[in-house]
Amino acid sequence: MTAPKSRSRKPPLPARDPRGEGRPTQDIAARLGDHILEIALAQFIARGPEGTCMDDVAAAANVSKRTLYARYGSKKGLLVAVMRYGIDDRLKPIAATMTTGCLRERLLRTARKMLDVSLQPETIAFEKLAHWVRDQNVDDIDVKTLLGINPGLCLIQKLLEEAAGPDRAAALDMRFLATFIFDALVTSPRQRILVRKDLPNTAAAKTAYLEQATDFIFKAILTLSQQPECGP
């Protein structure tokens, strides 16, 4: 596997005390955890879990091996933490797009963010790592979630449930509807861009596709809701 270039959005950590004295603040400790996991993720992607050792991760992260074992217990524990970190790191910026606007606007913004994130080299590399974990049957890792690349399905379901209200949401199979919309707005265009290569990976092409697909879904649902139900 080839390591993608790091695009950390986090501020750099202050230099470590060379004497090793004093305990870090709570903020520094939390940022150190993210820093370690970001470095470890890059190492696992570049070398694969079998080719990655705790010594190399510790050296790259500028921490002691004792710190790694104190936090994660073992290399497998570090790998589990890395995979969960990889999911959360991709989910947070998507969730931030869901707060305002009508259902169509929120769905479009959320789907666009999901699609953009799923096309990033870091996400594609993370997906390959998740496939490796699945093939090796590594315990304690929810590979089913990992292989979704982007657990945005739950976010779409949340949008639909909020728009429908509790009574209508309870009467509908919201999970199925969310999966259908996720596939139409994220899985399908991603496949067309990466595999079939008949959809350009440009802002204009993605916007045009998502707007047309969203409008089609809304119009189809409205039309079907106005039709009489078929008899048995």
What per-residue confidence (pLDDT) applies to 70? Answer: 94
Question: Any residues with CB less than 8 A from the CB of 89 and at least 6 apart, and which?
Answer: 38
Whole-number Å distance between alpha carbons of 118 and 183: 13
Range 213-218, long-range pairs (CB < 8 A, 24+ positions)? 213/184, 213/185, 213/188, 213/189, 214/104, 214/107, 214/108, 214/111, 214/185, 217/181, 217/184, 218/104
Instruction: Report, as an integer, the average pLDDT of 46-72.
Output: 93
Three-state SS annotation for 147-195? CCCCCCHHHHHHHHHHHHHHHHHHHCCHHHHHHHHHHHHHHHHHHHHHH
Question: What is the identity of the amino acid at 215?
Answer: D
DSSP conformation class of 64: -
Q: What is the pLDDT of residues 180-200, one digit of tens each?
A: 999 999 999 999 999 999 999
Tally of CB atoms within 10 A around 162 = 13
Q: Which two tokens stand for residue 103?
A: 């259902």
> 103-118 and 153-171 helices cross at what angle (nearest 10)?
150
Per-chain mean pLDDT for the chain: 80
What per-residue confidence (pLDDT) applies to 145? Answer: 55
Instruction: Report, as an integer, the average pLDDT of 151-157.
Output: 80
Whole-number Å distance between alpha carbons of 192 and 208: 14
Per-residue pLDDT for 3 more than 50?
A: no
- Contact at 8 Å (CB) between 122 and 156? no
Q: What is the pLDDT of residues 120-148, one digit of tens each?
A: 998 888 888 887 777 776 665 665 555 55
Q: What is the pLDDT of residues 27-47, one digit of tens each?
A: 666 789 899 999 999 999 999
Residue whose structure tokens are 């079998």: 50
Q: What is the pLDDT of residues 215-227, one digit of tens each?
A: 999 888 766 555 5
Name the least confident of 29-33, 101-105, 137-141, 174-178: 137-141
Whole-number Å distance between alpha carbons of 177 and 155: 12
Query: In order of start, what are the domains of the chain with their CATH numbers?
Result: 26-225 (1.10.357.10)
Provide the pLDDT confidence category of residue 97 given band limits of 50, 70 and 90.
low
Provide the pLDDT confidence category of residue 98 given band limits of 50, 70 and 90.
low
Supply the pTM of this predicted model: 0.73
